[in-house]
Amino acid sequence: MRGRVVCYSSHMAWTYSDYESQDTDSDRLSRLRLHIAEVSAAISAAMTSAGNSRDPQVLQRYMEETLQRRRRELEAKVGSVDASDKRKTASFTRARPV
């Protein structure tokens, strides 16, 4: 593979890269977040494994120029800043004796 740059976004077997095929923006955003997580893991693996031929810079570019940009677009459409950071709370009312 001398002198050749491979775009790993299209040549790796990603599990969640089909985020655009989901039915709703909310589903696309959820799936995209999973894809971002798997690409992040691949970046970490590429940076830590000695002698690996993967170029983490190509994956990083894909992450920044494609995935993060699309995540921001979908978050704006869905209306969430970052739903993964929000804590869910529930309120309960004490039962009254009958």
Helix, strand or coil for residue 58? helix
Which burial class, exposed, middle or buried, applies to 74 when counting CB atoms under 10 A from its CB (0-12, 13-18, 19+)? Answer: buried
Show me where the domains of the chain are located. Answer: 8-81
Residue type, 78: V
Tell me how far CA of residue 59 lies from CA of 1, 7, 36, 49, 78, in angstroms: 17, 8, 11, 15, 26
What local confidence, expressed as pLDDT, does residue 91 receive? 58
pLDDT digits (tens, 9 = 90+) for 17-70: 999 999 999 999 999 999 999 999 988 888 776 555 567 888 999 999 999 999
Query: What span, in angstroms and rounded, lies between the C-alpha atoms of 15 and 67?
Result: 14
Of 22-26, 45-49, 86-90, 94-98, the range with the lowest mean pLDDT is: 86-90
User: Structure pTM?
Assistant: 0.64
- Give the number of other Cβ atoms within 10 Å of residue 91's Cβ: 4
